[in-house]
Amino acid sequence: MNKLLYYFLIGSFFLIGCSKSYKQAKTVLIEPTEAIIKKNKDKDFSVVLDDMKIEEEPDYMVYQQKYNILTLVKDSLHTKKTPWQTVSKKYFKKHENDLGMEIVSSHNGRLSRVAQPVGFGWAIGDKKHGKWEGTSKDSTKTNNSQRRWRTHGTSPFFWYWLGTRRNTYRSDYNGYRTYNNNGNPYYGNQSSRGNYTYGTRSTYERTNRSSFFSRKAQNVKKWSSLNRRSSRSSSRYSNGSSTRSRSGGYGK
């Protein structure tokens, strides 16, 4: 009897310990980006992932994102920043490497949910928005893959592109097209240090979004929850992009 009691107590302590090691993710009725798609169904627009954070509440983990919504209206590009939006854990994890990238793009009647560098699917490579130019004084000696994109001053994309203060080369654009045609996100080439050209793992984002990386470094325990299984899945949407609750909807 004493032996059975011993094993019972050990098992109880084990279960209690496990229950405290992770929390269920807070659920949402619909992913905010799906609400944005619905609201802008008759417009050309892009959703850029602007920030991410993880909060811990007494009973669950809360996964949140901020967006920049780029909307093309006639000859103007309008930018709207959203407040924090609660998303499902699955959606958050899907886009943890996509900081600063378009995670939704709808232009010329084509809707895409594949992460891509801003403008690659609708402005870069389009003669209406700009052209490829040589990077040397003698452009005839410039290898095609080394040609650089120059956005026209009359393009709605011009000021946004100018504000990024970064060059886009033909080799990157060609790589993007290959990945995108296969339904995969494109992050550019990986350096010897493990950094990419675009997204969360890029040197560019580390430099320009230092507050995000500082916050993440101070909350390592919360971010580790992304790789732990919770007791119940937060997703109840057929395509894995939406979940159930009353929080996190865009436009409320």
Inter-residue contact 157 to 121 (CB < 8 Å)? no
How many structural domains does the chain have? 1
The number of C-alpha atoms within 13 Å of 102 and in the hemisphere containing its C-beta is 25
Q: In the numeric block, which tokens belong to residue 193?
A: 């240090």
Please tell me the distance from the alpha carbon of residue 120 to that of residue 139, in angstroms, as a whole number. Answer: 23
> Does residue 239 lie within any of the structural domains?
no
> Does residue 170 lie within any of the structural domains?
yes
Query: Count of CB atoms within 10 A of residue 30's CB?
Result: 19
| CA–CA distances in Å: residue 87 to residues 104, 183, 249 | 15, 22, 9
| CA–CA distances in Å: residue 129 to residues 41, 100, 143, 153, 156 | 23, 21, 22, 8, 8
Tell me what pLDDT residue 132 has.
97
- Which DSSP letter does residue 139 get? G
Q: In the numeric block, which tokens belong to residue 124?
A: 């870069």
Q: Which of 226, 238, 190, 240 is nearest to 22 (CA)?
A: 226
| Residues facing residue 151 across a β-bridge | 130
Please tell me the distance from the alpha carbon of residue 200 to that of residue 202, in angstroms, as a whole number. Answer: 6
> Does residue 67 lie within any of the structural domains?
yes
CA dihedral 204, 208, 211, 212 (to 10 degrees): -40
> Does residue 12 lie within any of the structural domains?
no
Please tell me the distance from the alpha carbon of residue 111 to that of residue 63, in angstroms, as a whole number. Answer: 25
Q: Please count the residues of the chain.
A: 252
Inter-residue contact 12 to 4 (CB < 8 Å)? no
Q: Tens place of pLDDT for every residue, the chain, 252 residues?
A: 566 655 555 555 544 444 445 689 999 999 999 999 999 999 999 999 999 999 999 999 999 999 999 999 888 899 999 999 999 999 999 999 999 999 999 999 999 999 999 999 999 999 999 999 998 654 555 566 689 999 999 999 999 988 888 999 999 999 999 999 999 999 999 999 999 999 999 999 999 999 999 999 999 999 998 887 755 544 443 343 333 333 344 444
Structural domain that includes position 216: 24-135+146-223
Please tell me the distance from the alpha carbon of residue 127 to that of residue 154, in angstroms, as a whole number. Answer: 12
